Copies of this chain bind each other. A is one copy, B any other.
Amino acid sequence: MSSEQGTLPHVVVIGGGFGGLRLARRLRRAPVRLTVVDRANHHLFQPLLYQVALSVLSPAEIAMPIRAVLRAQKNARVLLCEAERVDLAGRRVELFDADSLDYDYLVLAAGARTSFFGHDEWAEHALGLKDLDDAIEIRRRVLLAFEQAERERDPQRREELMRFVVVGGGPTGVELAGAIAELGRRVMARDFRQIDPQQTKVVLLEAGPRILPAFDESLSARAAAQLESLGVEVRCRAAVSGIEPDGVRLGDGFIPTWTAIWAAGVRASPLAESLGVALDRAGRVPVRADCSLEGHPEAFAIGDIAGFVPEGAERPLPGVSPVAIQQADLVAANIAADLRGRPRKAFVYRDRGIMATIGRSRAVAQTRRFRFGGWLAWLAWLLVHIWFLIGFRNRVSVMASWFWSYLTFKSGARLITGTCLHPRVRRELEQQGRAPSRTCRE
């Protein structure tokens, strides 16, 4: 593709998330050739990913083929492929299978990945939540833990199987902890014979002094109370010092568990490292006021991969979808301005508020003027998420799924795919020299 010629400027967009896809749509009438590169074939509605992980929704309900979204946009093509390296000087993106793309404009919108803050060895024992595969793996592991507990004769192991530890008290951690508690307490309450899923223990660990630190203190307290009413144990000032095969280590103790979920941090896509520019602490690419890279006005970064520090501020904007979407609008306008010979504009973030959900009828929300919690916040959360869900069919389907599980306390997608052998059981069998036979599906 590097040999391709065209009279129109070539805009390469890396990433089909909220930022990348919005940018592509915004340039639909611009005199450019667009190439959107993503390593997944789908746009993912990330805010609902935790609901796939806890089997409320099906993967297809929150994912939409990028190709289908851009079907009618004739100036855009979609490539399923991973970008491996960006050569800023040569204006070229190298793809992982040794192909490459030359560009006139580049928009880096590759997002972020789970980060263990330098403890990569924790990755083996803790489950992250950034893409559909992650969500399917969490779903598998949580459901397998209950299944294993039903078969377990040792009461202590049973207790460890039914204890779930979520690390990180941000919105994702809070949502995951609440959803696991509801899965045990309501959805699966009567499904087992030996265990009582209502005895499920969920521990939420937060290193800082309170959960949901981006929210007002009163809402943090309200969220903690709501979580506790669901049976979640909220532990603040609890810094994790190790994640081991059989539990989570804190400075002062050890929580035995079969299932540790990591929602404590992300780091910008490793693609940023290939740029050869100095990155910030979270691996983000520093950008100027117009979202372009220093010394490279033809290259932009938006969303979670970009470190945008507003004028006068000390810290970069948070990695949330409204930032990515608004930056996409700005960059699309700036590229269009370039082409018309007009000046570029600077990015100004309009914060419309934040919200987090804790479970059925429980949520907190905050805008500049209002802060509220409980059923009303939950309803607002519901409406906002349905509204922004890409794809009409998905909106209908998600609403139907939610309505159904609200009415019946059943969840629609309790599927375990892949092997039914828990990785820890496999390890234990192997240690005893008793590998499962070849007939087993793995």
A interface, CB within 8 angstroms of B? 1, 39-42, 58-61, 63, 65, 67-68, 71-72, 77-82, 84, 96-99, 131-133, 136, 143-144, 147, 150-151, 153, 188, 190-194, 270-271, 393, 396-397, 400, 404, 410, 412-418, 420-421, 425, 429, 434, 436-437, 439-441
Docked complex Cα distance between A429 and B151 (Å):
45
Q: Which of B59, B71, B144, B414 is the one whose CB lies under 8 Å from A65? A: B414
Residue of B nearest to A4 (CB): B153
Contacts of A418 in B (CB 8 A): 133
The residue in A39, A41, A188 that gathers the most chain B C-beta atoms within 10 A of its C-beta is: A41
Contacts of A192 in B (CB 8 A): 67
Q: Which of B68, B404, B413, B429 is the one whose CB lies under 8 Å from A410? A: B68
Contacts of A393 in B (CB 8 A): 404, 410, 412
- Given A68-B410, A84-B439, 5 new contacts (CB under 8 A): A58-B59, A59-B415, A96-B439, A136-B417, A393-B412
Docked complex Cα distance between A225 and B400 (Å):
39
Distance (Å) between the CB of A423 and the closest chain B CB? 13
Docked complex Cα distance between A71 and B414 (Å):
14
Contacts of A397 in B (CB 8 A): 397, 400, 412
Contact across chains for A42 and B416 when beta carbons are under 8 A apart = yes
Q: Which of B41, B416, B437 is the one whose CB lies under 8 Å from A96? A: B437
18 contacts between A and B (CB under 8 A): A42-B415, A60-B414, A67-B191, A77-B194, A78-B150, A79-B150, A80-B150, A82-B441, A96-B421, A98-B434, A131-B441, A132-B417, A133-B418, A133-B441, A271-B439, A393-B404, A393-B412, A397-B397
Contact across chains for A80 and B410 when beta carbons are under 8 A apart = no
Given A41-B143, A82-B441, A98-B434, is A417 in contact with B191 using a C-beta cutoff of 8 Å?
A: no
Q: Which of B67, B99, B143, B437 is the one whose CB lies under 8 Å from A84? A: B437
Residue of B nearest to A132 (CB): B417
The residue in A72, A131, A418, A420 that gathers the most chain B C-beta atoms within 10 A of its C-beta is: A420
Distance (Å) between the CB of A358 and the closest chain B CB? 24
Contacts of A67 in B (CB 8 A): 188, 191-192
Docked complex Cα distance between A425 and B421 (Å):
30
Docked complex Cα distance between A434 and B98 (Å):
8
Counting from the closest, the 7 A-B pairs by CB-CB distance are A60-B413, A80-B147, A77-B193, A41-B416, A58-B60, A58-B58, A67-B191
Contacts of A133 in B (CB 8 A): 417-418, 441
Given A96-B439, A99-B151, A439-B96, is A420 in contact with B40 using a C-beta cutoff of 8 Å?
A: yes
Residue of B nearest to A432 (CB): B98
Q: Which of B71, B136, B143 is the one whose CB lies under 8 Å from A190? A: B71
Contacts of A437 in B (CB 8 A): 84, 96
Given A80-B420, A412-B393, A439-B84, is A425 in contact with B97 using a C-beta cutoff of 8 Å?
A: yes
Given A59-B417, A412-B393, A439-B270, is A97 in contact with B39 using a C-beta cutoff of 8 Å?
A: no
Contacts of A193 in B (CB 8 A): 77
Contacts of A410 in B (CB 8 A): 68, 393
Docked complex Cα distance between A72 and B192 (Å):
10
Contacts of A436 in B (CB 8 A): 82, 84, 96-97
Distance (Å) between the CB of A128 and the closest chain B CB? 12
Docked complex Cα distance between A71 and B186 (Å):
13
Contacts of A434 in B (CB 8 A): 98
Distance (Å) between the CB of A73 and the closest chain B CB? 10
The residue in A81, A150, A190, A439 that gathers the most chain B C-beta atoms within 10 A of its C-beta is: A439
Docked complex Cα distance between A183 and B270 (Å):
35
Docked complex Cα distance between A99 and B432 (Å):
14
Contacts of A61 in B (CB 8 A): 58
Docked complex Cα distance between A120 and B58 (Å):
34
Distance (Å) between the CB of A175 and the closest chain B CB? 20
Contacts of A414 in B (CB 8 A): 41-42, 60, 65, 68
